[in-house]
Structure 1
Amino acid sequence: MKIKFSFLILLLTSFFISCTEEDHSLKITEINIKAPFEMPTIKIPDFSNCKEFLITSFGAVQGDQDKTTKAIADAIFQANKIGGGIVVIPKGVWSTGKIHFKSNVNLHLNDEAVLLFSDNPEDYLPAVSSTWEGLECYNYSPLIYAFQCKNIAITGKGILKAKMDVWTEWFKRPKAHMDGLVRLYHMGAKGVPVKGRQMVGDNANFRPHFIQFNRCENILVEGISIQDSPFWVIHPFLSKDIVIRDVKVKAHGHNNDGVDPEMSQNILIENCTFDQGDDAIAVKSGRNQDSWRLNTPSKNIVIRNCIVKNGHELLAIGSELSGGIENIFVDNCIVTEEAMSSMDHLVFIKTNERRGGFVKNIFVSNIKADHIKGGILGIETDVLYQWRDLVPTYERKLTSIESIFIENIQVSDAQFISKILGQKELPVQTVILKNVRVDSIHNKKIIHENIEGFNWVE
């Protein structure tokens, strides 16, 4: 009888402890999304019960970049060490250098918190494995960099801001920069190992990305504002399971795309505001031989309920698309009157004879816009920009483009509805426009070469 009573006391004690102890563990949230294709469940981290690490507890001081940079790194280390934690940036302006993530970490910016990133290139050394316009290389570290991380987040109501004095000078792209571009292109074409592609130290001046998730998974970016950027703003590269939500981006510099998913999969971008110097969202999948080697398409990407205040395109695809792009769904977005002077197309697919790859299953619906300099849909297959004369074609591979569906579009003013310039050897296939309305058209409604299966139902 005594043994049974002791066992009962032990059982009740264990139950009491388990009920009163708080659960500080990292959890995983699953998000299911309806799309016109089979959309996988997206898994993202939930840090709501995790321990917080305030950077001032690690020695951060406003106005002292070195101490704040170290404090953030130390807090990230501790959050990772316990298996999941929140690194908190409190109210105030905090000068910092680069931030490198570790797995199971949430960088959280409180309301009125500003992380102000240095524009001294030396603060982004040593060089890290990164990319430049679809080619892998070692370059200056992105301002915020995650490499082979899992379960990471950037959240809060604060601001990420880049100082721009030096980067603005680098926008000019002098001869040394162009020579660097040519050198990297040849290395990519010839299969030089990525570690041999060192692009720092020879005045190539390859500007760093603001945020790059490189070979990561389970990523959340939510609530923050981002102001200015040396290069592409948010760049998921070879990553998967990503949610970018309620983010405001304002960056009007050179190559300042808002989000550039590249060879990345299972992505939701929603309720964001883009005020860009380049494309709002540019889906990419690498360039030429580099991407054929990596052989990873960008796919299963849903973009919804977003506002574009400035930007060349709402959705750009390419021209770096050698790994293939499929299953893209854009729905219920608005291009505001503020974007009148910058918007070239709502949807622009661009490639050339060097890219290869494919584009298929692109769905765009329920879009409202005011004035567009170009038109609703643009597809061009001979877009080479400065590369036409800078470098040769090593291997000629055309891009197959098919199954583009656009419906319920209302635009006040545009030059055309659809301009498709396909390749004679490989025509664009199956483009369906339904209920696409433009109040005032200043050119031909349809400008087409080499397309099979076009249907416009007004």
Structure 2
Amino acid sequence: MALSKQICLIFTVCLIFTACTKEKPQITYTETKVEAPFNMPMIKAPEFSECPTISIVDKGAKKGDQKSIENALKSAIDEANSGGCGTVLVPKGEWISGKIHLKSNVNLHLEEGAVLLFSDNPKDYLPPVHTTWEGMECYNYSPLIYAYECENIAITGEGELRAKMDTWKKWFGRPPGHMNSLKRLYNLAAKSDNVEERQMVNDSANLRPHFIQFNRSSNILLEDVTITNSPFWVIHPYLSNDITIRRVKVKAHGHNNDGVDPEMSQNVLIEDCVFDQGDDAIAVKSGRNQDAWRLNTPSKNMVIRNCTVKNGHQLLAIGSELSGGIENILIDNCVVEDNASLFHLLFIKTNERRGGYVKNIIMNNIKANEVRNGVLGIETDVLYQWKDLVPTYEKRLTPISDIRLNNIQLKKGDFISKIMGQEEQPVKNISLENVKVNSLLGEQMIHENVIGFKMD
């Protein structure tokens, strides 16, 4: 073989060897130490600065062409995942899509001025996925953005996630077919742990999908994005851990439009966010009844701080899906704007079917103008439409204890504290310190079955 051919062959082999042995880019991490009056672990979040960026335009996305955009998003996510890690870039402009399924080591990044608009065609969220409905596991329409058994995932950037709502609005009314499907789901969940038999997509079930669900995932970052409208709960970390939600703006005024619903999740930081809601701003949950007893995973170690609420039902709700237990929750230094129309600042709700427990809930340094009810509400018989819809298969009461409120300033409300405990299971150890209501319209305290209430 001629020398030149030998050199060329050696060079080619070297190139192939280099390409094959080149290390894939790696995720790095930031760890945030969060001060709390309980043992709060460091929160781990993914960092993508060493990872390549893949624009959906380079993958064939064309504005106004939903199919090309969906294909480009999927292709970019697949490439980022298979390449070790990557940022999927959505550039400035409006891009319409159906469901997005994230994979490990992927950051979905929306450039400032980008709008990712989600279709309201239910068929765009099929086939059904393993998800939940109000604390019960089932197979239903995919959340608009869905991550299942992923790690190191992020949604970042100063762009906007927006849901088209024409179809979902029609489903808000919960027609008879919907209620029948809910009864079926409740009965299946009570009698069997076979989630695959709980297929909830049919012509009349109308179980609306979540906007974002992180399901059984870890090391999650949601940062800087604006989220507008939602078919159901807006941000739903479920059976997940190490979650950072930072500088997110949510505006969603539909039915069940809670802002963030951490459920059976742990090590959560929610900070510097703005919530403008049709339901609770933050609602901590831990599953419903038999499903949660089976999964046996409490929600715990959560800090919510420096947030603003423009509207909603509660600043912080606990329950009513709390059957796995909830503990170590701190909400600190938050403001409720003057025109907001909340019911309570802190509302803990359960019923005879839930079991679980609630303990060590701390609310500090809150300012609000007016609420329709009061500062603190604890209700132990909240069943809503379920009271007569389905039976109690097993009665389990919820121990509630160690609730502390400090430095709360409210201009107007009906009461400071309304606690409706149960004779068999009194509420215990409630402490209110420097909790002020300037204009009190009703009784200061309304209490039944409470042990160890202190107010300074």
Same fold (TM over 0.5): yes
State the one-letter code of the partner of 1:387: W
Paired position in structure 1 for 2:237: 236
State the one-letter code of the partner of 2:447: H
Q: Distance in 1 between matches of 2:193 and 2:407?
A: 47
Secondary structure of 2:154 counterpart: strand
Paired position in structure 2 for 1:344: 343
The one-character-per-residue Cα deviations of 1:86-109 (angstroms, maximum 9, x if unpaired) are: 000000000001000000000000
Please state how far the C-alpha of 1:25 moved relative to its aligned partner.
2.6
Paired position in structure 2 for 1:92: 93
Please state how far the C-alpha of 1:202 moved relative to its aligned partner.
3.8
Name structure 2 gaps, 5 residues minimum: 1-21
Question: CA distance change for structure 1 residues 246 and 67 in 2, over 3 Å: closer, same or farther?
Answer: same
**TM alignment of 1:204-215, pairs within 5 A:** 204-215=205-216
1:405 equivalenced with 2:411 (yes/no): no
Please state how far the C-alpha of 1:22 moved relative to its aligned partner.
12
Paired position in structure 2 for 1:380: 379
Paired position in structure 1 for 2:18: none
Please state how far the C-alpha of 1:281 moved relative to its aligned partner.
0.2
**TM alignment of 1:65-84, pairs within 5 A:** 65-84=66-85
**TM alignment of 1:418-433, pairs within 5 A:** 418-433=417-432
Q: Distance in 2 between matches of 1:48 and 1:222?
A: 15
Please state how far the C-alpha of 1:23 moved relative to its aligned partner.
9.6
Contact 2:86 2:107 in 1 (8 A): yes
Paired position in structure 1 for 2:121: 120
Please state how far the C-alpha of 1:191 moved relative to its aligned partner.
1.3
Contact 1:227 1:249 in 2 (8 A): yes
Q: Distance in 1 between matches of 2:281 and 2:189?
A: 27
Secondary structure of 1:344 counterpart: strand
Contact 1:177 1:203 in 2 (8 A): yes
**TM alignment of 1:22-61, pairs within 5 A:** 24-61=25-62
Paired position in structure 2 for 1:216: 217
Q: Distance in 2 between matches of 1:309 and 1:320?
A: 25
Q: Distance in 1 between matches of 2:322 and 2:193?
A: 20
Please state how far the C-alpha of 1:301 moved relative to its aligned partner.
0.4
Q: Distance in 2 between matches of 1:263 and 1:24?
A: 32
Q: Distance in 1 between matches of 2:274 and 2:49?
A: 25
Contact 2:137 2:291 in 1 (8 A): yes
Contact 1:167 1:230 in 2 (8 A): yes
> What percent of counterpart residues are identical?
65
Moved more, 191-200 or 359-368: 191-200
Paired position in structure 1 for 2:289: 288
State the TM-score, normalizing by the size of structure 1: 0.94
Contact 2:25 2:84 in 1 (8 A): no
1:297 equivalenced with 2:290 (yes/no): no
State the one-letter code of the partner of 1:207: R
Runs of 4 or more above 6 Å deviation: none
Q: Distance in 2 between matches of 1:337 and 1:292?
A: 40
Q: Distance in 2 between matches of 1:402 and 1:369?
A: 25
Q: Distance in 2 between matches of 1:352 and 1:209?
A: 25
Paired position in structure 2 for 1:392: 391
The one-character-per-residue Cα deviations of 1:261-302 (angstroms, maximum 9, x if unpaired) are: 000000000000000000000000000000000000000000
Paired position in structure 1 for 2:196: 195
Secondary structure of 2:259 counterpart: coil
Q: Distance in 1 between matches of 2:360 and 2:204?
A: 41
Q: Distance in 1 between matches of 2:49 and 2:248?
A: 19
Q: Distance in 1 between matches of 2:344 and 2:199?
A: 36
Contact 1:23 1:49 in 2 (8 A): no
Please state how far the C-alpha of 1:153 moved relative to its aligned partner.
0.2
Aligned length: 436
Paired position in structure 1 for 2:311: 310
Q: Distance in 2 between matches of 1:170 and 1:376?
A: 33
Q: Distance in 1 between matches of 2:51 and 2:166?
A: 38
Secondary structure of 1:180 counterpart: helix
The one-character-per-residue Cα deviations of 1:55-78 (angstroms, maximum 9, x if unpaired) are: 000010110001101100000000
Q: Distance in 1 between matches of 2:339 and 2:105?
A: 39
State the TM-score, normalizing by the size of structure 2: 0.95
